[in-house]
Amino acid sequence: MFDEIPRESLAFLPTPLHRLKHLGDSIGLDELWIKRDDLTGHSFGGNKTRKMEFVLGDARAIKADTIVTVGGLQSNHCRQTAVACAKAGFRCILLLAGEEPETYTGNLLLNSMLGAEIKFFPDDHLLTMHSRLDEVLETLKDFGLNPYAVPAGATMPVGVISYAVAMEELYSQTQNEGFTPEKIIVATGTAGTLAGLIVGAQMLDLDVDIIGVSVLHGAEEATLQVKNQISRIIDKYPEVDDFKPTINVDDTFLEPGYGIMTEGVRTAIDNFAKMDGIFLDPVYTGKAGLALMRMAINGDIKSKEHTVFWHTGGSPALFAYPELAKI
Ligand SMILES: Cc1ncc(COP(=O)(O)O)c(C=O)c1O
């Protein structure tokens, strides 16, 4: 799938797939598995490393020299962009929404260690950063550089297809384990990962219920964004036939807001760590983990249903949440 698209080798693939035995037992799921994209590799892994393989392949093909992207202060995407650039030899500029903190922790600390050039925008927030991207790009061009803009979360068709390829990887692993996935739970922010998985399942003709746990938008807006990403992929890549996607977004844990820790998220982080030694993150996978637990306890997942929790990474952000130490 997408074999002809230029790609940099950045991730350690395939990422492991294994059972979540103790957590599964505790919430009545006999067939609970985890796909470890928190182990995609360099600098603590995560889902953006898969996307950056194709994004940097594209940047190299047009002879770009500088990658510019946007995110929040603790953006996992920015950290994975910084490490991808360090490894592949691109200059990296990160535009972060928020005030420069006195102390760099978590992803921000790693970004500076990776040599990324960081610019802070105290009056902006995640959703206003794309106009900053355009401004900085124009300035860089004026200086004779050939910059390449990567939107938040590397959610652009060439990034999103990486998760169609990842679905193929998961399918092959589950076949080796003797099952076919029936449910997948994954965190969704900029919609790219979820859109890619849906495209991959369609290309493989797989009947799997993929549930995106939204941390950024309400279900209606998130669904629209996933739809939009899928349409862009259908338009760009002839190997993807037109189809009407089924999009399933769970926004139960959206409030009190992006990156704000709740007791529920703490419980999910705590359970995954103490039962199976898995570190979730406070912003994305903590909410997805909580949604998984809720679905299991409510009976929305049957005990024999083959369920994959897709871990999308983010653990360095844990170090920016000292309140977790009180669990
Ligand atoms: C740990 C983690 N999980 C999930 C996501 C969501 O991925 P997407 O933006 O492709 O929806 C992100 C995005 O930054 C992330 O950092």
Q: Is 41 left (phi over 0), alpha (psi -120 to 50) or beta?
A: left
Q: For 110-133, what is the mean pLDDT? A: 93
Q: Assess whether the C-beta atom of 77 lies below 6 angstroms from ligand 1.
A: yes
Residue finishing a domain among 109, 134, 154: 154
Residue 48 Cα to ligand 1 midpoint, Å, equals: 7
Q: Which atom of ligand 1 is nearest to the CA of 71?
A: 14
What mean pLDDT is predicted for residues 22-40?
Answer: 98
User: Does residue 313 share a domain with residue 294?
Assistant: yes
Q: Is 157 in the pocket of ligand 1 (CB under 6 A)?
A: no
How many angstroms does the Cα of residue 47 sit away from the middle of ligand 1?
7
From the CB of 192, is ligand 1 less than 6 Å away? yes
* 76 C-beta closer than 6 A to ligand 1: yes
**Is 247 part of a structural domain of the chain?**
yes
The reported pLDDT for the residue numbered 293 is: 98
- In CATH, what number is assigned to the domain containing residue 185? 3.40.50.1100
Indicate whether 215 pLDDT > 90. Answer: yes
Shared domain for 297 and 211, answered yes or no, is yes
CA 314 – ligand 1 centroid, Å: 8
Q: What's the pLDDT at 223?
A: 98
Residue to mutate, 49, 55, 76, ligand 1, most ligand atoms under 8 Å from C-beta? 76
pLDDT at 270: 95
pTM over 0.95: yes
pLDDT at 127: 78
Q: Which atom of ligand 1 is nearest to the CA of 189?
A: 11
**Mean of the per-residue pLDDT values for the chain?**
96
Mean pLDDT, residues 113-139 taken together: 93
User: Is it the case that residue 249 has pLDDT exceeding 80?
Assistant: yes
pLDDT surpassing 60 at residue 327: no
Q: What confidence tens digit (pLDDT) does each residue in 135-162 have?
A: 999 999 999 999 999 999 999 999 999 9
How large a percentage of the chain has pLDDT more than 70?
99
83, part of any domain? yes
Q: Are 180 and 141 contained in the same domain?
A: no
Mean predicted confidence (pLDDT) in 50-75: 97
- Contact 285 CB / ligand 1 (< 6 Å): yes
User: How far is 260 from 183, CA to CA, in rounded Å?
Assistant: 27
The response to whether residue 249 sits with its C-beta less than 6 Å from ligand 1 reads no
- Tell me the CA–centroid distance for residue 19 and ligand 1, in Å: 22
Mean pLDDT of the region 306-322? 94
- Domain of residue 142 covers 48-154
